[in-house]
Amino acid sequence: MTGFAGRVCGLPATRHALIRCTAADTRGNLSTHREAFHHELLAMAQAAHNSGGIVIAQVESLVDHHEILQAIHVPGILVDYVVVCDNPANHQMTFAESYNPAYVTPWQGEAAVVAAEAAPLAAGPLDARTIVQRRAVMELARRAPRVVNLGVGMPAAVGMLAHQAGLDGFTLTVEAGPIGGTPADGLSFGASAYPEAVVDQPAQFDFYEGGGIDLAILGLAELDGHGNVNVSKFGEGEGALIAGVGGFINITQSARAVVFMGTLTAGGLEVRAGDGRLQIVREGRVKKIVPEVSHLSFNGPYVTSLGIPVLYITERAVFEMRAGADGDARLTLVEIAPGVDLQRDVLGQCATPVAVAPDLREMDARLFQAGPLHL
């Protein structure tokens, strides 16, 4: 599902909307029955129409009438033009898939289907990424949240791994609108296989901002000794990469608990895991824990002051925000992987000092054992 507001027919950019749906009937009513999510389709069409602008809808096909009234997402009174695009290459369901029926098939308690979706992960490599994801799954087991948000990137596969580990009792959501089911990974992120419902993205954020998330599991790009996180800007000057924050701030400021995921170093990192231990085969060139983040996407001390627990998971160490002797919250090392050296492999790979908890413990050995994770 895509939406775009820009120059249409040579007219001023601010009034017009280009949207995408599945089918249009003879009166311009638009359905979304083959779309994985709805984003802000209705809101965009209403805003453009009520501002005197033009609404152009791309669809797969024209129909005489829609068989299911509830499939209509944008009424024809808002639509000016319909463009039929019957080439699947130009109407993909996600960036990676032309069409996946699982994204529009409602959840029916089909445990076998979910298990089949997760099964390929069992044979995957036990690399740094998988170890971090496994440790996040353990947080699901420990915290027993009711509603969970999974972020893009490394967190996206946590749902599949959790089902593979036999966990249930929680509902996974993603910001694009799917509720329940198993969130998709990679370029299909935003969709979910066998969801319970799919709401508009603005409605999803209304729910998030109202405090609906018990646990948010999000990616980690850069972290400093104060517990601040950067996911939005990398580099300086003209060469800087501006990724933006998306819904990151909305989610991290309203969730009841936040877990960040990322490797301790980047750029060539290679690890070997087995028999419950971890070995750093080749260290990454870039240290992810820095003296000060280059762009503030998440304020660790502020969020901690609200009473929200914050955890940072890497493949070899786990950190959390804890109060120091002066009462100020700071980044504190609380877990270390069995097999790694505290000074050489952890503290020496941080570009700034971090506190070490007096009750420092080893990460669970099951994280570093081949085969499925059993909890």
Which residues are annotated as catalytic?
175
Number of CB atoms found within 10 A of residue 109's CB:
8
CA distance 356 to 375: 28
Distances (CA, A) of 301 to 59, 135, 293: 47, 23, 14
- If you search the block for the tokens 């936040």, which residue do you land on? 258
The DSSP secondary-structure symbol of 6 reads -
Listed in sequence order, the DSSP H helices in the chain are 41-50, 111-118, 128-143, 158-164, 201-209, 248-252, 300-305
Residue 92: count of CB within 10 angstroms of its CB = 14
Q: How far apart are CA 173 and CA 101, in angstroms?
A: 18
Instruction: State the greatest distance between any 2 C-alpha atoms of the chain, in Å, as a whole number.
Output: 72
Structure tokens at 286: 């870039």
Angle at 28 (CA atoms; ends 10, 18), nearest 5 degrees: 35
